[in-house]
Amino acid sequence: MLRIGMLTSGGDCQALNAAMRGVFKTVTRNAKEPVEFYGFEDGYKGLIYSHFHLLTDDDFTNLLTVGGTILGTSRVPFKTIREPDENGLDKVEAMKQTYYKLQLNCLVVLGGNGSHKTANLLSEEGLNVVTLPKTIDNDLWGTDMTFGFQSAVDIATRAIDEIHTTASSHGRVFIVEIMGHKVGWLPLNAGMAGGADIILIPEIPYDIDRICEVIDKRDATGHRFTILAVAEGAISKEDAKLSKKEYKKKLANYKFPSVSYEIADQIAKKTGREVRVTVPGHTQRGGIPNSYDRVFATRLGAEAGKLILDKKYGVMIAYKNREMVPIPLKEVAGKLKTIDPKARIIKEAKLMGICFGDE
């Protein structure tokens, strides 16, 4: 009997179900022995507290186009994973005991950065683990692409697209706040696809005066509106110079809902223009996966299933140079794939006249 556990951890995204379907179908159709799949509910919490159920073919019928995750998900911060819970339970030991109680041959984890830290920890503790790269931020180290990203780009792009008509009608400055707390892959791609005039990402600290110069220049040359795609983690040059302690202190006394509203306030005061902020928020994680993510997640799932059948563990399925390849979890955990401010895509965007607030 081949017994496999599966969980989805961290923020939800499109194609989680498609990826699990790929794993399930590959293993059950190619295994030379009976197979049991156990789905852990609400991420690592299900593994910690033994909340699980048996998965069958019926669970994966008509699932390819369904967004979200049929297993549920949650965030169990890696920084607290070694700390006992409120009842004194050792979380790591509890996960191991659940694994052994079910006599699992492998644990499949679909998650992003924090999830991979925990997956690597469990691998180091002796469990057989295979992971798939999930995050709308596309910031997971070792892979060129994560599933969920392209669907989120589509949604964020549509938000910018639909702002264009109202922005031009009223002659306003519009800020569309795109998810991206630490990295800017999503606002960068959505901003370029949506024709944003200014894109602000965490990797390139901005100068508010430079932003206002661009808005004034567009106004002077007859452009009635300006659209900014702003990462939720965008940071000014002044704030970037602060220590972590100083920056946390500023945020503790922050009077704005987010950085986009602070930027809007500064633009209004410096230029006299009307500024509006639109926040698509969690719509970027929701809805059905696009065709790219359906195919991509299915391929990842199939490759993960093959690794399980070949008894190759302790790896993440990565997408490198248009090929699916396994890479050791220890090379992925704890690393973030950020945007190089000198990257070709940034240079190309600047050649098109897009401003990043830095020059």
346 CB neighbour count, 10 Å cutoff? 21
Distances (CA, A) of 131 to 26, 80, 123, 191, 208: 15, 21, 11, 30, 41
d(CA 143, CA 252): 35
pLDDT in tens, 190-234: 999 999 999 999 999 999 999 999 999 999 999 989 999 999 999
Worst-scoring range by mean pLDDT, 94-98, 166-170, 325-329? 166-170
Question: Pseudo-torsion of CA 293, 294, 298, 299, nearest 10°?
Answer: -50
Provide Rg for the chain, Cα atoms. 22
Mean predicted confidence (pLDDT) in 32-44: 97
Predicted TM-score of the model (pTM)? 0.95
Q: What is the CATH superfamily name and number for domain 151-285?
A: Phosphofructokinase domain (3.40.50.460)
d(CA 269, CA 306): 59
Q: Find out whether 17 and 66 touch, Cβ atoms under 8 Å.
A: yes
Q: Do domains 2-148+289-332 and 151-285 have the same CATH topology?
A: yes
d(CA 74, CA 96): 19
Helices H, strands E: what count in the chain? Answer: 13, 11
d(CA 119, CA 76): 12
What sections of 33-112 are H helices per DSSP? 44-48, 91-101
Q: What is the secondary structure of 204-233 as a DSSP string?
A: S-B-HHHHHHHHHHHHHTT---EEEEEETT
Using alpha carbons only, what angle is made at residue 80 by residues 74 and 82, rounded to the nearest 5 degrees? Answer: 115
Over 90: is that where the pLDDT of 57 sits?
yes
CATH of the domain spanning 2-148+289-332: 3.40.50.450
Over 90: is that where the pLDDT of 252 sits?
no
Q: Dihedral sign for Cα 29, 31, 36, 42, please.
A: negative
What burial class does residue 338 get, using C-beta atoms within 10 Å of its C-beta: 0-12 exposed, 13-18 middle, 19+ buried?
Answer: middle
- 104 confidence band (pLDDT: 50, 70, 90): very high
Distances (CA, A) of 25 to 44, 105, 138, 198, 236: 23, 17, 26, 44, 48
Mean predicted confidence (pLDDT) in 99-123: 97
- Stated as kind and residue range, the H or E segment containing 177 is strand 173-178
Q: Find out whether 17 and 69 touch, Cβ atoms under 8 Å.
A: yes
- 181 confidence band (pLDDT: 50, 70, 90): very high
- 48 confidence band (pLDDT: 50, 70, 90): very high
pLDDT in tens, 10-29: 999 999 999 999 999 999 99
Domain extents in the chain? 2-148+289-332, 151-285
Amino acid at 348: E
In eight-state DSSP terms, residue 281 is G
d(CA 149, CA 146): 6
79 CB neighbour count, 10 Å cutoff? 8
Question: Per the structure block, which two tokens stand in for 158?
Answer: 């549509």
Predicted local confidence at residue 168, as pLDDT: 83
In eight-state DSSP terms, residue 33 is S
- 261 confidence band (pLDDT: 50, 70, 90): very high
Which residues belong to the active site?
137
What sections of the chain are H helices per DSSP? 16-30, 44-48, 91-101, 113-124, 149-170, 185-194, 208-220, 237-240, 244-252, 259-271, 291-309, 329-332, 344-351
- 92 confidence band (pLDDT: 50, 70, 90): very high
Over 90: is that where the pLDDT of 281 sits?
yes
pLDDT in tens, 287-328: 999 999 999 999 999 999 999 999 999 999 999 999 999 999
